[in-house]
Structure 1
């Protein structure tokens, strides 16, 4: 406790003067008692409760002295010191990606962050708090909130959304909320580099709360399958991100009845991957792969895929590099090589893989265009970035090198870039365009190449029983009108748990949790899968640090809470009591 105005200490003379006057005033008055009839009774009452009698006779004096003393203290402006979060404005950025479910000692990183937020909410000291969550679309849950109860209730409702955090977009969005004040931004995540934070603003202090270091993770990095007349062929790639050999079991089950299809003991070397392939598996509409191993992150130990029930024939242009045909064959996808001149004669159900740009308009069938025959390529540099699209659900593109690119199609949607240059595009009718020849990239040397071709083919294949694969919380407009369906569709889990509804032709939002789901309308049902994004299958060493002006003096500051309002309230209360005492004694009458 402290005092803000010690100069007013001289006012203590007032209660001291009153006290001295009380001691030197005339204490007794001579009176003539006409009768002693009640003298004995009065003396007995006084002897039984002498202190109470004394207090009753001197109540006004004590009330007046106490009021004067409180007034002196109020003039001194007393305050209480407490520790509060530094900064005039507080912003909390909460990462809700799947990697926050990694556990240490049985508690997830996300739950640990929630406990820390609960503790910090007690130290806000009335400062406004803005709370937001990460994702493809950053969401503000609280804005300039000061009510601690509301803040705690919002923290309790926070849940992991499984989608990639998109940190650069989140940081840009956060900067747009700054008001020019001293701002403390708390970033609750698993890992972020100092170089990723915008440090140009001197009014910002960054407090990064990361995950623990050395979390163990073993994952199903990729899982794909294709069906043929002989059965199903599956390919899996398991990754061990630890420094020791990991042993466990790998299983594949049918999505229809849960029957065990494959079970195999596995050993994955330290910091390495293990590739598994299986052929002639029983036919099924989908497969669920699971990995049983001791690690700290279980979400990426299961993967679900749907198999197209009506597969289209795939034709590869004979002018393309042989690696394209080999990649399809590696996924056990039957392909046929045809001369360029015969591409126009193919059926409408066929999938065409070529570099002939004219096929995009001439062919009624889906086209996978690899390169262009009507333009010249130019050299490019940069890192590959992808949009959130289900064609990349099993294909990680970040380590691929591309030396040259062809000019893009102006009206097509770009879903992957090399630096700022378009790399992969999609047309309005669903054609996929890779703006590079095979010779311009090292992509065929990566496991993601055959998986991308498989995913592209599955997406362009004709199917009426499923919707394909989505990323967590992916939004897409779906038109599903048939003669038997109503205008509204309902989304259910495989356990028949209702998720949400959406209007036909409206915006469809996929569930957040990976797995298999069903949409229903009337008697019509369609399946779809939600797959964890590749970026959420890697755990990096956690980082916690502070950068900014407040980091020089610590993460907290001393806040002075004035006690003057409480003293004034007590003084008013004492005056009311004094008035009541005088009224009862008849002085005020």
Structure 2
């Protein structure tokens, strides 16, 4: 039960006034009475009207007190809570923004304890207790307003839809969703319930939205008072490093990282762990001042394709506790050429725009063994080996470098087998794109076994002349002939062949697309012959939450679109592209982040003032709205979880009926002569 006006309690002072009136003495005139019996009656009458006498138990007194108390209660506008009494249209707005994934506590909690799970429970409770004639419209508040069900009274369908709600990590369409709810309830009897944690960006509550029906805000989850977030993180090449280099782990690294940490709570001892390609490479302990931003720097970082920064300890909102960064693939392609000398090959490599570094022949020392040349500080993107692989490259740092780098081998130690005139067949492959060999590339082939990963791309007389494939995630290309055994280098197709080979070998180097908000539209350069493309979760929240691979968007023609939406779940994603020939093409890394505006800890105070009623509408439809102090009209009420399933049922008519019955009873008592 509730009271609408406690100020009316002042009228309860009428109760002691009635009692005082009964204690007040009536004044009588002395009158001689000749009868002794009448004299006794007069004495009793005078005794009854003696001032401040002991209050006697009289029915009329209690009836008058009860009537006065009921009148005071009526002035206080009492009501009771009625469950499932609404018979009109109810609009339920479910906030599924990223902040709804916050946990009530920072430790050991799972997603089943998140605000989103609590909201589902409250929505299901409301649906179960709704009135039989109540029609419910369910709206999902995400990156766009989505009407899931319209005027539905099937409780099972509503519960299934509520259980299927999931978080939307993009920028939430707060204003658009409220505008939609206002439009759906305009000109009809209804009400709106907004289930939210009230952590909205400031601009979401700036523009007032006119509602013609009562609006209640159901607050979800406990007050979030502390949060630490990684606002910015990036890794760049140190000053003076030449473009296109990737650093050298052996020399201690040549990269520089910086992170900006925001602390919304009290002073805290925090720790940053920096990973490079999954390996811990640096850690920093620091003190974060309350309400301020702290800059943390990392120097001399080793080279890595992907960097991941992790903030500890974990807090209730974990989506802003990790961030990813990539080294830009800038500058010319670095090609190392290990050859005794081939001017045509070197010039063709330079025509591709690559920066060619010639690895000279190792010189013999005094003992007669060859010395390995020093490894340059700048690592290569592609290694081209013409002839026999040197002995020094079979082990040690050189062997490790060759195993980790895309490689193109031309020729070998075998003298080869002479070829007679035979048919040359060119397979469909990125290396042989735009090419069609009609004659053998050389007059002699090397008889070497083809490994399991190799796929023939050029055959002469049924024998493999060139094969390509991927070994340990690195593309490899092998020509089983020597360039000096034919006139291939003199043909116009040779520069095209070299350019295709370098481009395909570089496909092992994925390009980082940077950071994007979940669901944001991206411009991705996709080759015309790209057949399929799939986003795969590789690390972070996306991988830990069990996100499924997402096929890339296609145009109506069936070709892959250059406009691709970013995956909808935060974390590290990789776009794997496959050509029409089944070969892998250059892929892309992408760091997907939740909307940073969702990580704020304080509720937006303008939210209530944004949900104002239309001043041009009558007040009859706004009985359920509460009026805030200092406001000019009704505004949205704020409710806890247990209040939203109930409606106010005024008791005024029942109290008036009871007072009328008491007045009739009092008149009957007075008529029987028992008024004194």
Q: What RMSD in Å do the two structures reach over aligned CA positions?
A: 3.2
What do residues 491-540 of structure 1 show as CA deviations (whole Å, max 9, x unaligned)? 21116952334221265222222111112232123222212332123222
- Match of residue 255 from structure 2: 232
- Match of residue 89 from structure 1: 89
- Match of residue 285 from structure 2: 265
> 232-241 or 210-219, which moves further after superposition?
210-219
- Match of residue 582 from structure 1: none
Change over 3 Å in CA distance of 1:478–1:89 after alignment to 2: farther
- Match of residue 59 from structure 1: none
- Match of residue 115 from structure 1: 121
Instruction: Quote the offset at 1:85 in angstroms.
Output: 6.3
- On the 8 A contact 2:274/2:283 being kept in 1, the answer is yes
Instruction: Quote the offset at 1:208 in angstroms.
Output: 3.8
Change over 3 Å in CA distance of 1:129–1:478 after alignment to 2: farther
Instruction: Quote the offset at 1:477 in angstroms.
Output: 5.8
Gaps of 5+ in 2: 1-80, 242-246, 248-253, 333-352, 355-508, 555-559, 579-583, 613-621, 627-636, 638-642, 650-676
- Match of residue 174 from structure 1: 181
Inter-partner Cα distance in structure 2 for 1:170 and 1:92: 11
SS in 2 for 1:502: coil
Inter-partner Cα distance in structure 1 for 2:603 and 2:209: 22
Q: Where does 1:527-566 land on structure 2 (aligned, <5 Å)?
A: 527-541=589-603, 548-551=622-625, 555=644, 556-557=646-647
- Match of residue 286 from structure 1: 306
- On the 8 A contact 2:102/2:317 being kept in 1, the answer is yes
Please point out which of 460, 469, 472 is paired with 2:518.
472
- On the 8 A contact 1:252/1:261 being kept in 2, the answer is yes
What do residues 550-576 of structure 1 show as CA deviations (whole Å, max 9, x unaligned)? 1459753389xxxxxxxxxxxxxxxxx
Instruction: Quote the offset at 1:206 in angstroms.
Output: 3.1
Number of aligned residue pairs: give it: 326
Change over 3 Å in CA distance of 1:114–1:215 after alignment to 2: farther
Change over 3 Å in CA distance of 1:540–1:164 after alignment to 2: farther
Change over 3 Å in CA distance of 1:221–1:468 after alignment to 2: closer
Change over 3 Å in CA distance of 1:202–1:140 after alignment to 2: closer
- Match of residue 203 from structure 1: 213
- On the 8 A contact 2:261/2:293 being kept in 1, the answer is yes
Q: Where does 1:53-132 land on structure 2 (aligned, <5 Å)?
A: 83-84=83-84, 86=86, 88-105=88-105, 106=109, 107-125=113-131, 126-132=133-139
Inter-partner Cα distance in structure 2 for 1:220 and 1:279: 18
- Match of residue 301 from structure 1: 321
Instruction: Quote the offset at 1:89 in angstroms.
Output: 1.4
Gaps of 5+ in 1: 1-80, 313-347, 350-462, 560-589
What do residues 404-434 of structure 1 show as CA deviations (whole Å, max 9, x unaligned)? xxxxxxxxxxxxxxxxxxxxxxxxxxxxxxx
Q: Where does 1:297-376 land on structure 2 (aligned, <5 Å)?
A: 297-310=317-330
Higher Rg of the two aligned structures: 2
Inter-partner Cα distance in structure 2 for 1:143 and 1:173: 13
Please point out which of 139, 157, 168 is paired with 1:150.
157
- On the 8 A contact 1:94/1:131 being kept in 2, the answer is yes
SS in 1 for 2:211: coil
SS in 2 for 1:253: strand
Instruction: Quote the offset at 1:127 in angstroms.
Output: 1.6
- On the 8 A contact 1:241/1:270 being kept in 2, the answer is yes
Inter-partner Cα distance in structure 1 for 2:155 and 2:648: 19
- On the 8 A contact 1:162/1:472 being kept in 2, the answer is yes
- Match of residue 551 from structure 2: 500
SS in 2 for 1:288: strand
Instruction: Quote the offset at 1:549 in angstroms.
Output: 2.7
Please point out which of 183, 190, 193 is paired with 1:186.
193
Instruction: Quote the offset at 1:302 in angstroms.
Output: 0.6
Inter-partner Cα distance in structure 2 for 1:162 and 1:201: 28
- Match of residue 515 from structure 1: 571
Instruction: Quote the offset at 1:199 in angstroms.
Output: 5.7
- On the 8 A contact 2:324/2:572 being kept in 1, the answer is yes
SS in 1 for 2:121: helix
Inter-partner Cα distance in structure 2 for 1:247 and 1:233: 24
Inter-partner Cα distance in structure 1 for 2:152 and 2:537: 36
Task: Give the TM-score normalised by the residue count of structure 2.
Answer: 0.44
Within the alignment, does 1:136 sit opposite 2:159 as a pair? Answer: no
SS in 1 for 2:184: coil
- On the 8 A contact 2:304/2:327 being kept in 1, the answer is yes
Change over 3 Å in CA distance of 1:195–1:264 after alignment to 2: closer
Inter-partner Cα distance in structure 2 for 1:98 and 1:135: 9
Change over 3 Å in CA distance of 1:311–1:147 after alignment to 2: farther
Inter-partner Cα distance in structure 1 for 2:87 and 2:256: 58
Inter-partner Cα distance in structure 1 for 2:210 and 2:167: 31
SS in 2 for 1:216: coil
Inter-partner Cα distance in structure 2 for 1:197 and 1:103: 30
Instruction: Quote the offset at 1:542 in angstroms.
Output: 7.9
SS in 1 for 2:134: coil
- Match of residue 405 from structure 1: none
Inter-partner Cα distance in structure 1 for 2:520 and 2:256: 28
Inter-partner Cα distance in structure 1 for 2:512 and 2:528: 14
Inter-partner Cα distance in structure 2 for 1:127 and 1:500: 41
Inter-partner Cα distance in structure 2 for 1:516 and 1:148: 39
Within the alignment, does 1:276 sit opposite 2:296 as a pair? Answer: yes
Change over 3 Å in CA distance of 1:224–1:153 after alignment to 2: same
Within the alignment, does 1:218 sit opposite 2:228 as a pair? Answer: yes
Inter-partner Cα distance in structure 2 for 1:506 and 1:275: 36
